[in-house]
């Protein structure tokens, strides 16, 4: 039995070796896919374009212009009033600030002059946050100008903020690891489902039916071979892309994480086989995966915290292996958790994976019986 499982698994690996489209997908997903997902997640305000119409030309207006600095803003562009609307309409500036004439004189006289801020709200990721930044910076600069010194008044109480596990709040640290986790789930389902569809399209399923192998042996062969491919790609991605290219520190044990990944792959490859028995072609398999994969990734806690979701959704997603895998992956890779902390999630993945495997095996046997 072990020999059959091993030889059938080698056959799956040889078939994958000839499928250049899937090989390219694996290579891209665990390299450029991870890098782009991490680097394309901008900070709350990062290199926002800003232009200033300075009609005052005073020391205070110059102070306001100089206050907008990197990395939050690009170097402010000085423009005239006629160019302000054209720049906003053309999408060249996210923010344009119009400082009126006699601004400094009115501030010193206590007349409370108004400064016009135009915001391109189509830049959703930065528009609203940036408007708040600009207002805060402007008020601070005017206040310090009137007080003739730069400083923070003493407060009755002080809040000490300590940021753990990601002291600089770098979003790339979160985005890269979460993308690796998403790719593990996606590729394991796609590879096993595609392997079954490929055999049906090439007619090799009929060859398996006349061989002295059982449906269990065929399934286990697909599980270990496709799981091994994803596991190796995961290890290389964490070492070369996450730690090497993106310089993201990994605090926990990689061996413990890879062991947990192997258990998770047992569940997701079983799901892929189940979908492969339901779908009749690659396009149908793709549609099924989209319908299942998007909720698994969005509602498992990898995109938003589960605590912010409705209670019903939280309870329903406990039946998904991705929920427990995301939880233990964050605990191991971010917080350096050990086996004594993540064993409940490991146990849940084993139970859920076993149920998925049994369901896929029953469906696979039924499919083979119909073809015999």
CA distance 202 to 134: 62
257, 333 Cβ separation under 8 angstroms = yes
96, 78 Cβ separation under 8 angstroms = no
**Per-residue H/E/C for 169-190:** CCHHHHHHHHHHHHHHHHHHHH
- Determine phi and psi for 28, rounding to 5 degrees: -70, -45
CA distance 27 to 22: 9
Ordered by start, the domain boundaries in the chain are 2-41+170-371, 50-147
Indicate the pLDDT class of residue 173, thresholds 50, 70 and 90: confident
**CATH class of the domain comprising 50-147:** alpha beta
Task: Mention every residue, 6+ apart, whose C-beta is less than 8 A from residue 185.
Answer: 264, 268, 293, 296, 297, 322, 325
Side-chain half-sphere CA neighbours of 140 within 13 A: 14
Among 180, 233, 290, residue whose Cα is nearest residue 22: 233
More confident call, 47 vs 322: 322
Tens digits of per-residue pLDDT, 180-192?
999 999 999 999 9
Tens digits of per-residue pLDDT, 286-323?
898 888 888 888 898 888 888 888 999 999 999 999 99
Task: State yes or no: pLDDT of 209 exceeds 90.
Answer: no
How many CB atoms are closer than 10 A to CB 212?
6
């Amino acid at each position: 039995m072990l020999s059959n499982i091993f030889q059938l698994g080698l056959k799956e690996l040889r078939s994958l070796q000839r499928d250049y489209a899937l090989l390219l997908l694996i290579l891209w997903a665990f390299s450029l896919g991870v890098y782009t997902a991490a680097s394309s997640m901008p900070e709350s305000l990062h290199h926002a374009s800003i232009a200033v119409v300075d009609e005052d030309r005073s020391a205070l207006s110059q102070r306001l212009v100089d206050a907008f600095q990197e990395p939050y803003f690009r170097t402010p562009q000085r423009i005239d009033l006629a160019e302000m609307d054209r720049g906003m309409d053309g999408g060249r500036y996210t923010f344009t600030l119009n400082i009126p004439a006699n601004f400094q004189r009115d501030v010193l006289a206590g007349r409370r002059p108004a400064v016009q801020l135009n915001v391109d709200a189509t830049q959703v990721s930065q528009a609203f946050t940036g408007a708040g930044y600009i207002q805060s910076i402007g008020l601070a600069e005017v206040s310090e100008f009137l007080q003739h010194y730069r400083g923070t008044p003493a407060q009755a109480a002080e809040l000490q903020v300590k940021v753990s596990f990601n002291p600089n709040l770098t979003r790339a640290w979160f985005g890269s690891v979460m993308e690796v986790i998403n790719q593990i789930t996606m590729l394991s389902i796609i590879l096993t489902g595609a392997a079954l569809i490929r055999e049906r399209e090439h007619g090799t399923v009929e060859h398996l039916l006349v061989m002295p192998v059982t449906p269990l042996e065929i399934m286990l062969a697909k599980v270990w071979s496709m799981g091994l491919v994803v596991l190796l790609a995961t290890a290389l991605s964490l070492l070369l892309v996450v730690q090497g290219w993106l310089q993201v520190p990994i605090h926990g044990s990689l061996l413990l994480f890879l062991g947990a990944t192997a258990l998770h792959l047992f569940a997701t490859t079983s799901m892929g086989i189940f979908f492969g028995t339901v779908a009749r072609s690659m396009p149908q398999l793709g549609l099924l995966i989209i319908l299942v994969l998007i909720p698994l990734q969005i509602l498992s806690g990898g995109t938003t915290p589960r605590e912010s979701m409705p209670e019903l959704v939280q309870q329903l997603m406990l039946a998904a292996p991705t929920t427990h895998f995301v939880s233990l992956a964050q605990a191991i890779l971010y917080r350096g958790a050990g086996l004594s902390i993540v064993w409940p999630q490991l146990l849940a993945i084993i139970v859920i994976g076993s149920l998925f495997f049994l369901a896929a095996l029953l469906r696979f046997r039924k499919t083979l019986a119909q073809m015999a």
